[in-house]
Structure 1
Amino acid sequence: MTRTFDASTWGAPLSAAGDDILAGEVSLREESLRRKVAFYLDADGLPVSQSSCEPSEWYSTLVTRMTSVVISHGRAVVSIDAALPLHSSILDVAFPGSGSTGSMLDITVVDLSRHRRTLHAAIPSHLVVTGTIAVALSPVVAARKTTAQSHRPAIG
């Protein structure tokens, strides 16, 4: 099965190459092994270390390592070795180097701060703890409070 990556979701041009995922010429699996720390992909697909980013900077793709994987009763809980931006949701996940897709499951991603985000996505049939995970992020904008306007008849 060939995986496609929508740039509007992932923010960077990605492509499948066998079991791996490429950002241009960069193998996400190899880059994750080389860096050993989480990194974002900028709009051109170039890696940017998460630890060097200001809190106000935003990137759509985070690549990091899994520290725990539990699959049970049609659900998966995947702990990662990175902190997700606080005001973000997860649009999609991919598992560079993990082989072909197994099935669709509810996947809960747990970050270093123990924050959880759940989505329904494809997960490979064989995951390796310490394997690589790529996470497509979307900013969540806080809802603004609105006040109801009362319509009272004019007295007069």
Structure 2
Amino acid sequence: MTSTFDAATWGAQLNAVGDDILAGDLSLREESLRRKVAFYLGADGLPVSQTSCEPSEWYPTLVTRMTSVVVAHGRVVVAIDAALPLHSSILDVAFPGAGSTGSMLDITVVDLSRHRRTLHAQIPSHLVVTGTIALALSPVAAARKTTAPEHEAAIG
């Protein structure tokens, strides 16, 4: 059975084929096993090494390895072997190689810098530590510090 991921969310056209997820002919699971570092997917579905990217570059899909998985009390905490872009949120998550059947749970993703992002998504019934995880990212604008006009007048 083949299902398609929304390109508006994932940035590239992705298809689930069996337990794997493909970007064109590229198996995200196989590519993750082949590489030692996390990678992004460009709009064309080709991998771009996270370590070769400038901080100002933006890619909507990050693929990396899980280093820890804890499932308890209806929640999942997944540590990943990558740094999430600082001003990003996670829109969706997929687990290439783990299948798609499972439950909807709160998933907290913890990156190498110990930053946390939480979302409610489907988790496969069986996850393997060191398995592959794909994250659909969305940029979040940095909050700007502003001063109310009446506060400025009171200062001056």
| TM value normalised by structure 1 | 0.91
Identical columns (%): 87
Partner Cα separation in structure 2 for residue 4 and residue 24 of structure 1 = 11
What are the equivalent positions in structure 2 for 1:1-156 lying under 5 Å apart? 3-145=3-145
Name structure 1 gaps, 5 residues minimum: 151-156
SS in 2 for 1:37: coil
Kindly provide the CA deviation profile for residues 56-83 of structure 1, in whole angstroms up to 9, marking residues without a partner as x. 1000000000000000010000000000
Partner Cα separation in structure 1 for residue 81 and residue 20 of structure 2 = 20
Partner Cα separation in structure 1 for residue 64 and residue 135 of structure 2 = 8
Partner Cα separation in structure 1 for residue 45 and residue 119 of structure 2 = 24
Q: Match for residue 153 of structure 1?
A: none
**What is the RMSD of the two structures over their aligned residues, measured on CA atoms?**
1.5
Partner Cα separation in structure 2 for residue 97 and residue 84 of structure 1 = 22
Deviation for aligned residue 1:37: 1.2
Q: Match for residue 154 of structure 2?
A: none
- Give the letter for the 1:87 counterpart: H
Deviation for aligned residue 1:31: 0.3
Greater mean deviation of Cα atoms: 97-106 or 24-33: 97-106
Q: Is the 8 A contact 2:61 2:134 kept in 1?
A: yes
- Give the letter for the 1:94 counterpart: A
SS in 2 for 1:4: strand
Partner Cα separation in structure 2 for residue 36 and residue 144 of structure 1 = 37
Name structure 2 gaps, 5 residues minimum: 151-156
Runs of 4+ more than 4 Å apart: 145-150
Partner Cα separation in structure 2 for residue 146 and residue 34 of structure 1 = 47
Deviation for aligned residue 1:99: 1.5
- Give the letter for the 1:57 counterpart: E
Partner Cα separation in structure 2 for residue 146 and residue 43 of structure 1 = 35
Partner Cα separation in structure 1 for residue 79 and residue 2 of structure 2 = 26
SS in 1 for 2:66: strand
